[in-house]
Structure 1
Amino acid sequence: MRSGNPALKESTFLDLGSGTVVSRNAGAMTLNGTVNKTGFLLLLAVLTAAFAWNNTFTATGELAPAAMVYMWGGLIGGLILALVTIFKKTWAPVSAPLYALFEGFFLGAISAVFEARYPGIVFQAVLLTFGTLFALLMVYRSGLIKATENFKLGVVAATGGIALVYLATIVLGFFNIQIPLIHESGLVGIGFSLFVVVIAALNLVLDFDFIESGVDAGAPKYMEWYGAFGLMVTLVWLYVEFLRLLSKLQSRN
C-alpha cells in the first residue's frame, strides 16, 4: 500500500531481520493487543501526570521550582524517546512506555498551569480529546471516512506545514520575535487553532488505518507497541491543541 507518510508504508510491517511478514503463528500484531497496550500507555501517562500536577504549585499557590523540570524535562525526554521509537521500532516495547512516562510529566505540569489560569479547562480538554477519539473511531469503522492516498497526502502535508510553523515560532522566540496573529486570541489565532485541532484529529484516522493495516499484514508482535505509541503521540498533540484553543476562547471573555 502506497502512502505519502513514510511511517505508513508497507515495509513498516516487515520483520526487520528477514524482510518478511511474520507468521501469525509466530506471534503477530493483533487489534486487541494494540488496544490493551494503548490503555497501558495512557495509564502510565496519567500516573506521572498526576504526580507532576500535584507538585507544580506550592502550598501558597506559587509555581514550584520543579515545575519547569517536569514540563521541559518531560517534553524534551519525550521527544528523544519518540525519535528513538520511530527509528528503532524493535525497541518500542521499552521506549514506548518510557515515552508515556515522560509525556505524563509534561502533560501534568502544563495542565496545572492552564488550570490555574483558566479553571475547568483541563476537564473540558480531556472530554474533547477522548470524545474526538471515539467519534472518529466510529466514523472510521462505519466507512464514512476512508484513508485514501490523497487523504493521507493531504493530512501529512498539513501536519508538516504546522510543524514548520511551530519550529519557526521556537527559533524566532530565541530572538524575541513573535509570529503575529496566529498565537493570539483574536479571530485569526482562534481560526489557526481550530485548523490545527482538525488536522490533529484527522491524524487519528491515519493511526487507525496504520494499526488496521499492521494487523491485516500479520506484522511482528512488537508493532502493537509501535501502533499504541503512534496513537499516543496523536492524542497528546490533540489534547495540547485543545488546551490552546480553549485558552484563547476563554481569554476573550
Structure 2
Amino acid sequence: MQSNNPVFRRSDAFNGASANAYGNQTYPGNGAAHQSYGQTPGHGEPQYGAPTITGRPMTIDSVVQKTAISLAVVIVFATITWWYTGDIKSDSAEAQQNMGALYGALMIGSLGAFALSMVNSFKRVVSPALVIAFCALEGIALGAFSKFIDAVFVADNTSISGNIVVQAVIGTFAAFAGTLATYKFFNIQVGNKFRTFVIAAMFGMVGLGLLEMVLGAFGNQIGLFGFGGMGLLFAIGGLVLGVFMLILDFDFVEKGVAAGIDERESWRAAFALTVSLVWIYTNLLRILAIFSQD
C-alpha cells in the first residue's frame, strides 16, 4: 500500500503494489511534524499493497508495546534533564549557570530530535535504535522546555494539582484517550479530503514556524511562539491539528494491522504516535502557560 505520509511512505511493508483483501486505499498516520508527502501516480489516493512479511505480523499489542517504550524513553530523559540542570528560579550565579545549561539542552535536544525525525521519516527500513535515539533527544528538549515554563509561570507555592506541567501531561493523555474513544465509538472513516487538509495544515504550521525562527534571528518575530494573543491562536491551532494527526495515526495503524504488515513496522507506528503526542503536549503546555499569566 502507498502512503502519503513520509513515515510510512518509505516503508516497503506499507507500500506494496497489489491490492489487499479490502481493495481499498491506505490511510496515512502522522510522522514528524516536518515532512514531505507524495501520492500514487494516476490515482490521487494511496493503495493497499501486499506486505512482505519477514516475521510476525504487526498487532495492536505490538504497537502499544513499542509506543509505551518510546514514551517511557521520552519521559525518562525529560526527567533526567529536569533534575540535572538544577535550580533556575533563584537569582544566584549558580541559577544563571543552570539556565545556560537548560538552554543548551533545549537547543541540542530540539535540533537533534528534528534531524532524527527527518531520518526516521524518510528511512525505508525502520530502525528501532534511531527511533529510541529520537525519543531520547525529544525527551531532553521537552524536559528543558517544561522546566523553563515551570520556572516562568509556576509560583513556588503552587500545589501539584495547579502545576501546569502536570496538567499538560494529564491533558495530553486525556486527549489521546478521548480521541481514540471518539475514533472507535463513532467509527470515524478518514477520507482523502480530510487527510489532505491535515497534511496541508501541518505544512503550513511548520512553514510558519520556520519563518518565525528566521525572523527571530533578525529581531522581527511575529509572535507565533510567544505568550500573547498570536501565540495563543497558534498554540490552539497546533493542539487541534495534533488531535487530527492522532486520528490519522489510529486509522493507519488499524488498516496496517488488518493488512498484516511486518511487526517491525510497529516501531514506525510508535514513532508517529510519539510525535503526535509530543506535538499535543507542547501546544497544550503553551496554552496553559498563557492562561496562567496575571
TM-score if structure 1 supplies the norm length? 0.88
Among candidates 155, 161, 166, match of residue 204 of structure 2: 161
Asked if 1:204 is matched to 2:234, the reply is no
Among candidates 50, 74, 80, match of residue 79 of structure 2: 50
Deviations 1:53-80 (A, max 9, x none): 0022338741414212321111111111
Contact residue 44 and residue 104 of structure 1 kept, 8 A: yes
Structure 2, unaligned stretches of length 5 or more?
A: 18-48, 155-162
Contact residue 3 and residue 152 of structure 1 kept, 8 A: no
Asked if 1:22 is matched to 2:76, the reply is no
* Equivalent residue, structure 2, for 1:141: 184
* Equivalent residue, structure 2, for 1:32: 61
Asked if 1:74 is matched to 2:117, the reply is no
Deviation at 1:11, TM superposition (A): 6.1
* Equivalent residue, structure 1, for 2:46: none
Among candidates 160, 163, 167, match of residue 124 of structure 1: 167
Aligned residues: 248
Q: Which amino acid aligns with 1:71?
A: L
* Equivalent residue, structure 1, for 2:219: 176
Deviations 1:20-53 (A, max 9, x none): 5124x83221111010000011111111111100
CA distance in 2, matches of 1:163, 1:60: 32
- Structure 1 stretch displaced more, 196-205 or 6-15: 6-15
RMSD: 2.5
Deviation at 1:4, TM superposition (A): 5.1
Deviations 1:94-145 (A, max 9, x none): 1111111111111111111111112211011111111000000001111353
* Equivalent residue, structure 1, for 2:277: 235
Q: Which amino acid aligns with 1:21?
A: P
Contact residue 3 and residue 153 of structure 1 kept, 8 A: no
* Equivalent residue, structure 1, for 2:141: 106
- Structure 1 stretch displaced more, 6-15 or 214-223: 6-15
Contact residue 194 and residue 245 of structure 1 kept, 8 A: yes
SS in 2 for 1:90: coil
Deviation at 1:195, TM superposition (A): 1.7
SS in 1 for 2:127: helix
In structure 2, relative to structure 1, the CA distance for the partners of 1:188 and 1:140 (3 Å cut) is same
* Map 1:211-226 → 2, pairs under 5 A: 211-226=253-268
Calculate percent identity across the aligned residue pairs. 32
CA distance in 2, matches of 1:12, 1:161: 29
CA distance in 2, matches of 1:54, 1:201: 30
- Structure 1 stretch displaced more, 1-10 or 216-225: 1-10
Contact residue 111 and residue 122 of structure 1 kept, 8 A: yes
Contact residue 126 and residue 265 of structure 2 kept, 8 A: no
- Structure 1 stretch displaced more, 89-98 or 236-245: 89-98
* Map 1:86-105 → 2, pairs under 5 A: 86-105=121-140
Deviation at 1:83, TM superposition (A): 1.1
TM-score if structure 2 supplies the norm length? 0.77
In structure 2, relative to structure 1, the CA distance for the partners of 1:8 and 1:95 (3 Å cut) is closer
Contact residue 198 and residue 241 of structure 2 kept, 8 A: yes
In structure 2, relative to structure 1, the CA distance for the partners of 1:11 and 1:143 (3 Å cut) is farther
Q: Which amino acid aligns with 1:128?
A: G
SS in 1 for 2:263: coil
Q: Which amino acid aligns with 1:177?
A: N
SS in 2 for 1:66: helix
- Structure 1 stretch displaced more, 242-251 or 129-138: 242-251
CA distance in 1, matches of 2:13, 2:136: 25
